[in-house]
Structure 1
Amino acid sequence: MRPPREPRPPVARTFRTAEPGRRTVYMVHPGALPAQAYQGLADALPECDGLTVLDLGAVPEYAEAALTGGRAATTVPALAERLLAAMAPVDGPYTLAGWSFGGVLAVEMARALRPERLVLLDSIAPTDEYKQPDDALEPALLLGWFAMYLGAKRDSAVELAPDALTGLGTEEGLPVVLDAAVAAGALLPGTPLPGLRKLYDTYVDGLLRNNRLTAPHRPEPAPVPLVLVKAERSLLPGDPTLGWPPLAPHGLTVRGCPGDHYTMIGRPDSLDVIAPLLRASS
């Protein structure tokens, strides 16, 4: 007899309920890291404010695509509708935010919600200039992102020299990441390379899923001003706006924060930057 399947977590996960008349932050989370990573953000908000995480990882057609080759049987608008349906009726002021690919969903959802604040955490704009075919995601780039992801997942920063992966393919570069992760304490000595390769393949399939969902998407401009928080070690560190100006007719404010793309949602010094932007009026 097969063991019973664990129930899928709820799409809308409330970390703290806002007191009457106080602000609720709705955060769109694209998975990769567990939703529990936002507990620090909940603690950093004012005591009477609320935080609800809208977890795409709890949407089967999205989550399972990372385990089956990165092709999701859904679209950005359909995912936005799924998240909107999971939300409780909004009572009081609220902010809509999204981390990474979650920012693309947040902008899509904003057309229906018209939030007071719309905040994107290191999200890349889904404009034609920033859409890339799958083969443009080169191994050195993906391996560097994977090293950041490993560090956040294991709570130990995995440091690589700037040119450590230059010119390397996946087979040559993954041992470099493994050695750096062991040196950082993110992985145990003796961690087998095949096991790490399996984790890497799932990670890449998740990126490909998001890339393929973004490719056909034709976003409307944001209906309210945008606030972009860009990590010091962003996925695209040399790009100051991550492509958002064409989708921000009502204004774009860019702020920097410490950490990298993955650690920014949990580092206390990053949250010192992010939390005030989620509640500020300007």
Structure 2
Amino acid sequence: MYAVHPGALPSNVWGGITQALPGDCGAVVLDLAGVPEYFEAALSGGHTELTVASLVDRLVAEYRADRVRQSAGGPVTFVGWSFGGVLAQAMAERLTRPERPDRLVLLDSIAPTDAYQQPDDALDPPLLLRWFAMYLGAKRGRAVSFGPGGSVGLDTGTGLVRLLDAAIDCGALAEGTPLPGLRKLYDTYVDGLLRNNRLTATHRPAPSSVPLVLVKAADSLIPEDETLGWAELAPHGLAVHTAPGDHYTMLSRPDAAAVIAELIRRPRY
């Protein structure tokens, strides 16, 4: 298994999934935190000179080097979580036919299709606040909820005030946590999303040459879209499954790890 990890959470969140794999299944995490220009873009307004193609160049080089180091043979599965799914799919299409994986498993990843190549302002505050609450909860190990009505209709300022109260009440944040500190974390989070949105905006994916497996989180980023746009890029088949948790906790929950590991270890259509 080669997993493409786009950051946001530390790469050790893959530990539960790798431990759930059979003992003879190797696992490599390709962590984009090792690309300084990518990581730093989330600290500087989401602007970067990188492209999907330039990131794929680096990932393909690392993949090929690892295969040589290990003198590896046998079947390979690519796994991509979130924006990592976009890169994993582009990697597979960059490789020669003998190098390609047998399958690609996408974990709550949104396809880089026209429907989802949206301008920055399409990421409106209620949507961003909902996603940020998931992220904060995963980082702190506590579910953070806006309560009845969710984040619908909230502007950023009001939403963060409510989120701070909710996070303190559930123990995700300490009493006395200042609002400016939460705002800084939120801004960095949003800049990371903008970076990925801008990278995707200039990417034109080729249809997948290998079968796709999509694992949606029970609380997905976009719950109303069953295939998250991947159906039009899957001429060799798309299987859709659900794992417990939300977009972020699906990587760390033991019950979700068991579902994902089972789908990685053998095809299920």
Q: Quick one: which of 17, 24, 38 aligns to 1:48?
A: 24
Confirm or deny: 8 A CA contact 1:164 1:176 kept in the other structure. no
What is the CA deviation profile of residues 31-70 of structure 1, one whole-angstrom value per residue up to 9, with x for unaligned ones? 0000011111111111221111000111111111001110
Q: Does 1:63 align with 2:45?
A: no
Q: CA deviation at 1:160?
A: 2.3
User: 1:163 and 1:273 mapped to 2: Cα distance?
Assistant: 30
Q: Secondary structure at the match of 2:8?
A: coil
Distance in 2, matches of 1:132 and 1:195, equals 29
Of 101, 107, 118, which aligns to 2:89?
A: 107
Indicate if the aligned counterparts of 2:217 and 2:244 stay in contact, CA closer than 8 A. yes
RMSD of aligned residue pairs (Cα, Å)? 1.0
Q: Structure 1 runs of 4+ off > 4 angstroms?
A: none
Distance 2:39 2:213 in 1: 27
List alignment gaps of at least 5 residues for structure 2: none
2:74 counterpart (92, 113, 118): 92
1:187 corresponds, among 173, 180, 191, to: 173
Residue matched to 1:78:
54
Q: Does structure 2 retain, via aligned residues, the 8 Å contact 1:30–1:99? A: yes
Q: Which amino acid aligns with 1:245?
A: A
Partner of 1:119: 105
Match of 1:252 in 2: 238
Matches of residues 96-245 of structure 1 in structure 2 within 5 Å? Answer: 96-111=78-93, 112=95, 113-245=99-231
**Helix, strand or coil: the match of 1:172?**
helix
More contact order relative to length (CA 8 Å, sep ≥ 6): 2
- Between Structure 1 and Structure 2, which shows a larger proportion of helix residues? 2
State the aligned residue count.
258
What's the secondary structure of 1:36's corresponding residue?
Answer: helix
Instruction: Output the TM-score relative to the length of structure 1.
Output: 0.89
- The 8 Å contact of residues 228 and 241 in structure 1, kept in 2 or not, is answered as yes
TM-score normalized by the length of structure 2: 0.93
| Shift in alpha-carbon separation, 1:216–1:61, aligned structure 2, 3 A | same
**206-215 or 54-63: bigger deviation:** 54-63
SS for the counterpart of 1:254 is: strand
CA distance in 1, matches of 2:150, 2:259: 31
Q: Which residue of 2 aligns with 1:270?
A: 256
CA–CA separation in structure 1 for the residues paired with 2:137 and 2:74: 37
